[in-house]
Structure 1
Amino acid sequence: MTSASDLASLAALLADETRAAICLALLDGRAWSAGELAAHAGVAPSTATEHLHRLIGGGLLVERRQGRHRYVQLAGPSVAHLIEDLSARTEPRPSPARGLRAVTANAALRRGRTCYDHLAGRLGVAVTDAMTRAELLDQTNGFALTKAGLAWLTDTLGVSPEELRPGKRPLARGCLDWTERRQHLAGLAGAKLCETFLGNGWVARIGAGRAVRLTSNGKAALRQLLDLPEDE
């Protein structure tokens, strides 16, 4: 059973703006170097390294080595869920004008982004709602794929049934969206959906960050498959 001190220690890891910025950046699911994270957080490389050691020691991040290079990632989907869920529970504050580029980037994230390995933002919520309307997803008591939803993923989208066998990670799970304040689909099904959409060219990444957009081919495909509204 988790003790109060264990919970306090975990909370303390995120009670620092630099460490919080690092964790938010890693929600894109990629592996980042210490130097990249230092530049992103606006701190010295030595400072970033110190924070990374704490996050790794606390179990929120893991280190990956490739030759002489070292990278860090979130420790897994459950950590991504924790970060996204905490973000959704914060009260949004008016942000000062930071220039056109920053405003445009923020708007793109709200329209569509990846949350670790699944779709989030208005796009993620819209796809989740469309799957629910089509009775592919049941949100009556939590999140569950219906038989029709499982067949849709395997027969229509071509996802291997073996890849949808739940283990430590659930097949379908709701993830509270920090911008929409509503649930989007996560879990194995959410991950495979995002992977398929990206692989088919229905969704494309915008730059090197988390933001994604629905392509013209994606709009046509999802209109046919899910009756997704034209303006999504």
Structure 2
Amino acid sequence: MLQFEILPVTPFAQNATLIWCDLTLEAAIIDAGGEVDRLLDAVAQRGLKLTKILLTHGHIDHAGGAADMKARTGLSIIGPHQDDQFWLDGLGQQSRMFAFPEAKPVIPDQWLNDGDQVQVGQSTLQVIHCPGHTPGHVVFYDPETRLAQVGDVLFAGSIGRTDFPKSNHQALIDSIRNKLFPLGDDVRFIPGHGPMSSFGEEKRSNPFVGSRFG
């Protein structure tokens, strides 16, 4: 069964997530935005075998440490969808803009598409393409544990920003309502920032996408 630990990194307190299969102890990092030493220490402290680096999208606080982690581990970078290539190509510029440590451009070893699957030990993550915040944003969903890592698509009480290049507010709303909420009210999710919530709670109370808010 899939286990997880949330490890906020960077000045933006981005929820990098260490996930692992408790049967094989094979692990992955989702959104290695920075503080690579700390992320790798967390892997070592739990006695896990890191097997891949996963990205939900190409913003600096989510992808800024991915190239460094790959260089140090030799592991593949998987995701996001190819529509975020322009964000990954511009990570150096993003890092300078936000006063982050200099980040190298990232070329994923594998782009992801809607309906793809990613294996972590004996756990199978479903890939859901959820454009809006960025055009190539993906969500990782584990049906067994009813857990989703949604990046910056949805937050507890809020949604992702759509004032970036190639963002699309209506596409984001459609991604949440038509792709995520149908997975079930009981699905818990880890957002890119802030506390966990569930799709049911956000359907009830989120002022941007809740059912009683239109």
TM-score (norm 1): 0.29
TM-score when normalising by structure 2: 0.31
Bigger fraction of residues in helix: 1
